[in-house]
Amino acid sequence: MRLSTSTNILFERTYGNPIDPIECMKLCKKAGYDVLDFCFHDLTTYNSEFMIGNWETYMHKVKNTADGLGIEFSQGHAVVYDFCNCDLDHQYFEEILRKNILGAEILGINWLVMHPSTVRNTATPFKDSREKNIEFFTKWCDFANDHNVGIVIENMWDCHMSPFKLYCSTAEEMVDLIDEVPYLGACWDAEHGAIMQQNQLESMKLLGNRLKATHISDYTSNQDIHLLPYLGKVNWDELMSAFAEIDYKGDFDLEIHRYLLTMPMENVESAIRLSYEIGQGLIKLYEDKKELV
**Cα distance between the two ends of the chain:** 16
Q: What pLDDT is recorded for position 164?
A: 77
The reported pLDDT for the residue numbered 18 is: 85
Task: Return d(Cα 101, Cα 248) in angstroms, integer.
Answer: 25
Q: What are the start-end ranges of the H helices in 70-153?
A: 90-107, 125-146
Helix (H, G, I), strand (E, B) or coil at 75: strand
| The predicted structure's pLDDT at residue 161 | 61
- So what's the pLDDT on residue 293? 81
Neighbouring-strand partners of residue 216 = 254
Radius of gyration of the chain (CA): 18
Nearest CA-CA partner of 74 in 288, 286, 252, 287: 252
The distance from CA 172 to its chain's CA centroid, rounded to whole angstroms, is 19
Q: Can you tell me the distance from the alpha carbon of 293 to that of 286, in angstroms, rounded to the nearest whole number?
A: 11
Mean pLDDT (whole number) for 155-161 = 81
Q: Which residues, including other chains, have CB under 8 Å from residue 285's CB and lie 6 or more apart?
A: 236, 237, 240
- Into how many domains does the chain fold? 1
What pLDDT score does 271 carry? Answer: 98
Confidence of residue 20 (pLDDT cuts 50, 70, 90): very high
Greatest mean pLDDT among 13-27, 162-176, 200-214: 200-214
pLDDT (tens digit, 9 = 90+) per residue, 186-242? 999 999 999 999 999 999 999 999 999 999 999 999 889 999 999 999 999 999 999
The answer to whether the beta carbons of residues 208 and 176 sit under 8 Å apart is: no
More confident residue, 16 or 48: 48
Per-residue pLDDT for 162 more than 70?
no
Dump pLDDT digits (tens) for 81-96: 999 999 999 999 999 9
Average pLDDT rounded to a whole number, residues 117-124:
93
DSSP string computed for 178-220? HTTSTTEEEEEEHHHHHHTT--HHHHHHHHGGGEEEEEB-B-S
Output the average pLDDT for the chain: 96
What is the torsion angle, in degrees rounded to the nearest 10, for the CA atoms of residue 15, residue 17, residue 225 and residue 134?
150
Mean pLDDT of 161-176: 89
Burial of 176 (0-12, 13-18, 19+ CB in 10 A): middle
Q: What is the mean pLDDT of residues 20-36?
A: 98
What number is the average pLDDT over the span 131-151? Answer: 99
Structural domain boundaries, residue 151 = 2-291
Q: Locate all alpha helices (DSSP H) within the chain, ordered by sequence.
A: 21-31, 40-43, 49-52, 55-69, 90-107, 125-146, 171-178, 190-195, 200-207, 236-245, 265-292
Residue 33 · residue 69 · CB < 8 Å = no
Cα-to-chain-centroid distance, residue 40: 10
* CATH code for the domain of 67: 3.20.20.150
